[in-house]
């Protein structure tokens, strides 16, 4: 089969690799129908996250089950499924608590020795604990299939951020970051009943999507100017909840500065750069809560899936460039150069 591999910074290749096969009785093999490139994949692409030459990459995919191990009870060949961005056994204490990202036997697609989502097929360990079955007829609806793909990561991650930010009906929410996760954070905040949603972003194409998803205001400034703008929009108080979806020191500083006293920050931006930008004394004095981290999207898919299926939420607009498998290296380049928001891959 063919799959995307990374060999060095900016060196992505689509190569022949060993076929995905059932190795353990709890495995299934999924033939990929949709995959995508994540903003976090760019840190490996740019050389800011270490990878071994030839390592697989990609952690968002959905597809059709081709083969199932003898101990798999929930899935059979022909089932349409979506995979969260980590696999998990579904039986440990963490899985029972809805924190599948901490499963001791779990792992991330594309880690050393595992298949990546940006390929023709994927071996899925612990299929019963990992995968979620989708309606079979969704396979014939391109828009719906693309929206469902967002459940593998960005929609669930945006939802995780909104929960961490304490979004509730009537609240004011600010979203730092105009990437796919930040935009899905807007959609999640709207779904949870936020009355006012302030999107921080400078790119009109992206802030237009934010408005489509429910943003009531857009702040194009950065740094202290952005902080002042949010304060002005909120009568000097700041936002009840802030979604931080970037992961840099500057973005975290901004999040703290625009939070209302007694407010909450939900952070899901993968940390990178020189530091966190947190001043604990400021957060202490102003009673600002901080909660977030790696999103356990497997826990959220059952809740979000019905709303995607009936059109209550539609995250598909975050995918603005579609490529075949051979086009994946160019897709990375487009996202790195910010000429694409999020690249959809159709193997």
How is the chain split into domains, by residue range? 2-153+296-345, 155-292
pLDDT category, 138, cuts 50, 70, 90? very high
pLDDT of amino acid 275: 59
Question: Cα–Cα distance between 53 and 75 in angstroms, integer?
Answer: 34
pLDDT category, 347, cuts 50, 70, 90? confident
pLDDT category, 270, cuts 50, 70, 90? confident
Cβ neighbours around 108 below 10 Å, total:
13
Q: Does domain 155-292 have CATH number 3.40.50.720?
A: yes
pLDDT of amino acid 281: 92
Q: pLDDT tens-digit profile of 196-208?
A: 999 999 999 999 9
Q: pLDDT tens-digit profile of 103-119?
A: 999 999 999 999 999 99
pLDDT category, 142, cuts 50, 70, 90? very high
Mean pLDDT (the chain, rounded): 96
Q: CB–CB of 173/278 below 8 Å? A: no
* Residue range 211-234: mean pLDDT, rounded: 96
* Residue range 259-272: mean pLDDT, rounded: 94
Q: CB–CB of 35/117 below 8 Å? A: yes
Name the percent of the chain lying above pLDDT 90: 94
Question: Cα–Cα distance between 157 and 41 in angstroms, integer?
Answer: 15
Asked if the domains 2-153+296-345 and 155-292 are classified in one and the same CATH topology, the answer is: no
Q: pLDDT tens-digit profile of 152-162?
A: 999 999 999 99
* Residue range 91-111: mean pLDDT, rounded: 98
Question: Cα–Cα distance between 171 and 173 in angstroms, integer?
Answer: 6
Candidates 3.40.50.10800, 2.60.15.10, 3.40.50.1380, 3.90.180.10; correct CATH number of 2-153+296-345? Answer: 3.90.180.10
């Amino acid at each position: 089969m063919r799959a995307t591999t990374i060999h060095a910074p900016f060196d992505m290749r689509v190569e022949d690799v060993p076929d995905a096969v059932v190795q353990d009785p709890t495995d299934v093999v999924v033939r990929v129908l949709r995959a995508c490139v994540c903003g976090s994949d760019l840190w490996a692409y740019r050389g800011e996250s270490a990878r071994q030459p030839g390592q697989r990459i990609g952690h968002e995919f959905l597809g059709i089950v081709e083969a199932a191990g003898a101990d798999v009870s929930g899935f059979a060949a022909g089932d349409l499924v979506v995979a969260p961005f980590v696999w998990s056994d579904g039986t440990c204490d963490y899985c029972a608590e809805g924190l599948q990202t901490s499963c001791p036997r779990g792992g991330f697609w594309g880690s050393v020795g595992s298949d990546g989502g940006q390929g023709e097929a994927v071996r899925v360990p612990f299929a019963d604990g990992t995968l979620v079955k989708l309606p079979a007829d969704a396979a014939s609806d391109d828009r719906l299939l693309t929206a469902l793909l967002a459940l593998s990561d960005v929609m669930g991650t945006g939802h995780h951020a909104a929960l961490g930010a304490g979004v509730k009906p009537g609240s004011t929410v600010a979203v730092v970051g105009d990437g796919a996760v930040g935009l899905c954070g807007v959609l999640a905040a709207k779904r949870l009943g936020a009355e006012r949603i302030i999107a921080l972003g400078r790119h009109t194409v992206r802030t237009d999507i934010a408005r489509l998803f429910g943003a009531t205001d857009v702040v194009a400034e950065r740094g202290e100017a952005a902080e002042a703008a949010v304060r002005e929009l909120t009568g000097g108080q700041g936002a009840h909840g802030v979604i931080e979806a970037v992961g840099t020191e500057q973005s975290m500083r901004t999040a703290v500065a625009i939070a209302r006293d007694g407010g909450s920050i939900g952070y899901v931006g993968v940390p990178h750069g020189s530091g966190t930008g947190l001043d604990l004394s400021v957060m202490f004095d102003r009673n600002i809560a901080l909660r977030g981290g790696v999103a356990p999207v497997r826990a959220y898919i059952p809740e979000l899936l019905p709303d995607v299926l009936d059109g209550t939420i539609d995250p598909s607009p975050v995918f603005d460039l579609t490529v075949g498998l051979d086009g994946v290296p160019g897709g990375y380049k487009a996202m790195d150069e910010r000429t694409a928001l999020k690249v959809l891959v159709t193997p």
